[in-house]
Structure 1
Amino acid sequence: MPTLQIGRKQIPYELRRSAEASERRITITPGHVEVLALTSDDDDDIAGFLGRKRQWVFNTVREMERITSDRHAVPRFMTGSKILYRGRRMRLTVRRTDGDRIELSFHNGFVVDLPSWADGDIDKLVARELKLWLKRRVRRDVKEIVADYSRRFGLAPRSIRVADFANGWGSCGAEGNILINWHLVFAPMKVLEYVVAHELCHLRLRSHGSEFWDFLRTIAPGFEASKAWLDANQGSLSAEFLDC
């Protein structure tokens, strides 16, 4: 593994080349430094890039070492933390990069890239990005579910909105406006689909009589399992952990 010499300190790093990358990048997590280079870069290009970034690399590696050594100072949102998403606890990775903006991506886990200017309350920054991402994702999920049920069963609400509820998981107004609690992003997709289907059924049947449940069973067979899961786990579907 190549190393970067800064004074007396040797910092090993992993070199990765990408044909898709438009610019070079360095990402740093506790115990690991990755340098992303262009496929056209030669050794001098990489050495020059690292030379320009050497002080930032040194300071950031030292910051990561301090965080991992002072366990009492470890933030809640750090590499290795678990974030509940769609019924599973997914690993969070928080990295320092030489980019110019905060970026969040998801692939079998959450990855938050923090630029050099991001300082102060890192917990609050990461929590804010996670909350925004989760809200956007559940809005997208709800829109896709509604579009599918509208196409298959002709259940088209006047409007659909995802919001923060004090109580309950969804509602359907008399004018056909549907609200869904965004905290359902923490539940399995089948549970979110059940709640959306439940509210869509109210477009035709306002009460919870036997006819309503029969109709729901027609459009969402086996919904009982999702309803039972929600009844048993609703206390854990809270976004309070994101309030820093």
Structure 2
Amino acid sequence: MPTFQIGRKEFTYDLRRSAAASERRITITPGHIEVLALQEDGDSEIADFLTRKRQWLFDTVQEMERVTASRHAVPRFATGSKIPYRGRRMPLTVRRTDADRAAVSYRNGFVVDLPHWVEGDPDRIVASELKHWLKQRARLDVNDVVGAYRRRFRLEPRSVRVADLRQGWGSCGAEGNILVNWHLVFAPKKVLEYVVVHELAHLRHRSHAAEFWAFVQTMLPDFTTPKDWLDNHQTELSADFLNPCGAD
């Protein structure tokens, strides 16, 4: 592995080249440094880039080592934490980058890249970025389900919104406006689908009479399985864990 010297301290890093990258990037996680270089970069370009970033790199590694050493347990929003998502608890990785903005990505787990200006313990920012990502994911999931069933069953809601509902998992107003609780992103995807189907069915049958449930079963034949799951686990679907120290 290549190394880089800053004063008396030598840093080992992984070098990754990318033809798709438009700029060089350094990503730091506990015990690991990755340098993303442009495909055409030679050794001198990479060395110059590291030289320009040497103070930030040194300070960030030192701060990460200090925070890691002072913790006796894994906090809620650090590498190694677990984040509920679609009925599972998925691993979280928090990285430091030299970017200007925070970013969240997902691939078999959550990755939060924190920008260079974040200092100290970043729980509040990580929680905020995760909450924003999860809300956006819930909106996409809901819209996907609505789109599929709207076409198949000729159901036309006036509007569909994802919201933070204090009570219930969804609603369908008299004028055809559908609301879905974004906390369903923590449940298996089939559960979110059931709730959306339930509310879409109210466009045709306002009450919960027998014909309503017959129509739900026509739309989603195995609806009782996700319905039972929601009945048994609804108290677990809370976003309270995303509010450290009163964060919004």
TM-score range, shorter chain: over 0.9
Find the counterpart in structure 2 of residue 54 from structure 1: 54
Find the counterpart in structure 2 of residue 226 from structure 1: 226
Amino acid in structure 1 at the alignment position of 2:118: A
Q: Superposition pairs for residues 20-99 of structure 1, below 5 Å?
A: 20-72=20-72, 75-99=75-99
Find the counterpart in structure 2 of residue 171 from structure 1: 171
- Per the normalisation by structure 1, the TM-score is 0.97
Displaced runs of 4+ in structure 1, greater than 6 A? none
Kindly indicate whether the alpha-carbon contact (under 8 Å) linking 1:67 and 1:73 is maintained by their aligned counterparts in 2: no
Q: Structure 1 unaligned segments of length 5 or more: list them.
A: none
The CA deviation at 1:119 is 2.4
Find the counterpart in structure 2 of residue 239 from structure 1: 239
Aligned counterparts of 2:70 and 2:60: Cα–Cα separation in 1: 15
- Per the normalisation by structure 2, the TM-score is 0.95
Find the counterpart in structure 2 of residue 130 from structure 1: 130
C-alpha RMSD over aligned residues:
1.2
Pairs aligned (count) = 244
Amino acid in structure 2 at the alignment position of 1:83: I
1:121–1:66 CA distance, 2 compared to 1 (3 A): closer
Kindly indicate whether the alpha-carbon contact (under 8 Å) linking 1:67 and 1:74 is maintained by their aligned counterparts in 2: no
Q: Structure 2 unaligned segments of length 5 or more: list them.
A: none
Aligned counterparts of 1:74 and 1:191: Cα–Cα separation in 2: 30
SS at match of 1:174: coil
Aligned counterparts of 1:147 and 1:122: Cα–Cα separation in 2: 38
Aligned counterparts of 1:139 and 1:65: Cα–Cα separation in 2: 38
| Worse-matched range after superposition: 21-30 or 140-149 | 140-149
Q: Superposition pairs for residues 174-193 of structure 1, below 5 Å?
A: 174-193=174-193
Aligned counterparts of 1:120 and 1:128: Cα–Cα separation in 2: 16
The CA deviation at 1:130 is 0.6
Find the counterpart in structure 1 of residue 105 from structure 2: 105
The CA deviation at 1:38 is 0.8
Kindly indicate whether the alpha-carbon contact (under 8 Å) linking 1:21 and 1:38 is maintained by their aligned counterparts in 2: yes
SS at match of 1:193: helix
The CA deviation at 1:167 is 1.3
Kindly indicate whether the alpha-carbon contact (under 8 Å) linking 2:17 and 2:38 is maintained by their aligned counterparts in 1: yes
Kindly indicate whether the alpha-carbon contact (under 8 Å) linking 2:160 and 2:177 is maintained by their aligned counterparts in 1: yes
The CA deviation at 1:120 is 4.9
Q: Deviations over 1:153-210 (max 9, x none)?
A: 0111111111111111011111111111110010111000000000111111111121
Amino acid in structure 2 at the alignment position of 1:103: A
Q: Deviations over 1:99-121 (max 9, x none)?
A: 11111111111111111112255
